[in-house]
């Protein structure tokens, strides 16, 4: 599949292809806030090595590409046909 190939390339590009897979994209144990932003010069320099915005954009592209049919099939929630179910599968 094209999307799987894309995701593999993204993982390699951001050196995360050896990361441990998880069932959900963002675990509940992560508590993110703006207070976690780098404060020191050293922390800021370290974060410059990572293209955070590019990584997020890549993930968003993958999300949109893999979820396009959800909008289409969701319009038939009230009265789905057999063919609609096949598409959802």
Residue 78 domain-assigned? yes
Q: Which pLDDT score is estimated for 67?
A: 65
Q: Using pLDDT thresholds of 50, 70 and 90, give the confidence band for residue 16.
A: confident
C-beta atoms surrounding 66 within 10 Å: 14
Q: Using pLDDT thresholds of 50, 70 and 90, give the confidence band for residue 41.
A: very high
Residue 34 domain-assigned? no
Q: Is the pLDDT of residue 1 over 70?
A: no
Classify 25 as helix, strand or coil: coil
User: Tokens 């509940």, residue?
Assistant: 28
Q: Alpha-carbon distance 34 to 38, whole Å?
A: 9
- For residue 27, what is the DSSP state? -
Residue 47 domain-assigned? yes
If one counts the domains in the chain, the total is 1
Residue 35 domain-assigned? no
Q: Alpha-carbon distance 47 to 42, whole Å?
A: 9
User: Tokens 């050293």, residue?
Assistant: 42
Residue 30 domain-assigned? no
The domain in which residue 59 lies consists of 2-16+40-88
Residue 33 domain-assigned? no
């Amino acid at each position: 599949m094209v999307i799987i190939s894309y995701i593999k390339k993204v993982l390699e590009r951001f050196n995360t292809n050896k990361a441990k897979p998880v069932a959900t994209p963002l675990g509940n144990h992560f508590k993110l806030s703006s207070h976690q932003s780098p404060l020191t010069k050293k922390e800021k320099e370290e974060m410059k090595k990572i293209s955070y915005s590019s990584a997020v954009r890549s993930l968003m592209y993958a999300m949109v590409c893999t979820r396009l049919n959800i909008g289409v099939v969701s319009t038939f929630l009230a009265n789905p046909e057999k063919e609609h179910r096949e598409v959802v599968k």
